[in-house]
Amino acid sequence: MAAPAGQGKRTLPEETREYLYHEMIKLRRNFGIRSDRGGDEWHDRPEYEESALRSLTRDGEQAVATAKRKAEEEKGAKARALKRRKIANIKAKVEKMEAELAEEEARLVNCGK
């Protein structure tokens, strides 16, 4: 994800990083990945933890972006629905006025005979 214009690389707040780190540890435990296997295994290396943390961070950022996009789409859909209702109301008023005008014309024509 590209950084916004005029800003440097985006970083997460420290408490978010801590939360994601602890979530990563829980996931490792749930899948039987332990750090007490001698330390020479791939998943015990610091690069793996950093990579996993970056991955969790990226997933979190993508989830936030998706939620924002869906909210914008919903807002747009609501605005379009409101415009459709306004147009329908205006058309109904025009049809009502045309009907009243036709009745008035018919009454005037009948009065003139």
pTM over 0.75: no
Backbone angles phi, psi at 89, to 5 degrees: -65, -40
Cα-flanking dihedrals φ and ψ of residue 7, to 5°? Answer: -120, 155
Could you tell me the residue ranges of all domains in the chain?
14-85
Sign (positive/negative) of CA torsion 81, 83, 88, 89?
Answer: positive
* C-alpha distance from residue 91 to each of 8, 77, 87, 95, 96 (Å): 52, 21, 6, 6, 9
Q: Three-state SS string across 47-83, please?
A: HHHHHHHHHHHHHHHHHHHHHHHHHHHHHHHHHHHHH
DSSP state of 46: H
Q: pLDDT, tens digit, for every residue of 27-62? A: 777 776 655 554 445 555 556 667 777 888 888 888
Task: Quick: pLDDT tens for 55-106.
Answer: 888 888 888 888 999 999 999 999 999 999 999 999 999 999 999 999 999 9
